[in-house]
Chains A and B, each alone.
Chain A
Amino acid sequence: MAKPIVDKTAESNKERNKKPAVIAEPEYPLTTMAVVAPIVGWLIPGGGHLLLKRYGRGILLLVSVVAMFVIGLGMQGRIYKPNGGDILDILGFVGDVGSGVLYFLARIMDWGNVMAANAAADYGKTFLIVAGLLNFIAAADAHHIALGKKP
């Protein structure tokens, strides 16, 4: 009996034209904790991680952000206000407000309301802004942990 003729070229073309299998992205449903943890993390540095029982990470984040904020204030850094007028002042405010409760405490206690024109004060201002920005990253990390994207 004759063997059926198989067109190998057509077969290989079929293989080539096959679309790659779509890898389904795992879904991460938005839970209450995924909303609450970053808010707590923003208000209290490291609080989101502590809420999610990542105590070691939470304490390290708390110490890092609070230390940067306190050192910034100690170096006579300036705390930005929301109605700065200048666009750079608004950006400075966004950075500062990232520290959450620390920022509001500083505003209530009138800390950082100085206009010192020396290099240390400039570094202090940078410490304050970066403390807030790092806290934003920590809050986003708490969100990812709560979603289950990160262990």
Chain B
Amino acid sequence: MNINLSHFSAAVVFALFASIVFGITQRNSTTEQVRYGVYCFVMFVGGVFIAGWVMALIRR
């Protein structure tokens, strides 16, 4: 089995699964868990975009 993911898609998959676990383990009620999971996912993916732009600007 060989899975080929780009850097971005790997980061999104990573963010998805890590956010699910963070949401479940770090909050108590179902609503809070969903909200925290979504928050973590947005932060992960947002961090990827910000880091990408910072690196692109440094490279210029």
Segment 2-43 of B: residues with Cβ below 8 Å from A? 2-5, 7, 10, 13-14, 17-18, 20-22, 24-25, 28-29
Interface residues contributed by chain B, number (CB under 8 Å)? 18
Q: How far is the CA of A150 from the CA of B29 in the complex (A)?
A: 9
B1 close to A (CB within 8 Å):
yes
Q: Is the CB of A74 within 8 A of B2?
A: yes
Q: Please, which residues of chain B bring their CB within 8 A of the CB of A137?
A: 21-22, 25
Q: Is the CB of A60 within 8 A of B24?
A: yes
Q: Is the CB of B25 within 8 A of A138?
A: yes
> Range of interface residues on chain A?
20 to 34
Q: Is the CB of B5 within 8 A of A67?
A: no
Q: Is the CB of A134 within 8 A of B21?
A: yes
Q: Is the CB of B14 within 8 A of A68?
A: yes
Q: Is the CB of A123 within 8 A of B20?
A: no
Q: How far is the CA of A37 from the CA of B18 in the complex (A)?
A: 21
Q: Is the CB of A61 within 8 A of B28?
A: no
- How many Cβ-Cβ contacts under 8 Å join chain A to chain B? 57
Chain A: minimal CB distance from B13 (Å): 6
Q: Is the CB of A64 within 8 A of B7?
A: no
Q: Please, which residues of chain A bring their CB within 8 A of the CB of B13?
A: 71
Q: Given that A74-B1, A74-B3, A76-B2 are known contacts, is A138 also in contact with B21, CB under 8 Å in the complex?
A: yes
Q: Is the CB of A73 within 8 A of B1?
A: yes
A residues bordering B, Cβ < 8 Å?
Answer: 57, 60-61, 63-65, 67-68, 71, 73-76, 119-120, 123, 126-127, 130-131, 134, 137-138, 140-141, 150-151
A–B Cβ pairs within 8 angstroms, 10 of them: A61-B20, A64-B17, A68-B14, A73-B1, A74-B2, A123-B5, A123-B7, A130-B18, A131-B17, A151-B29
Known contacts A61-B24, A120-B4, A130-B18; 9 further A-B pairs (Cβ under 8 A) = A57-B24, A64-B20, A68-B14, A75-B4, A123-B5, A123-B7, A126-B14, A134-B17, A137-B22
B residues bordering A, Cβ < 8 Å?
Answer: 1-5, 7, 10, 13-14, 17-18, 20-22, 24-25, 28-29
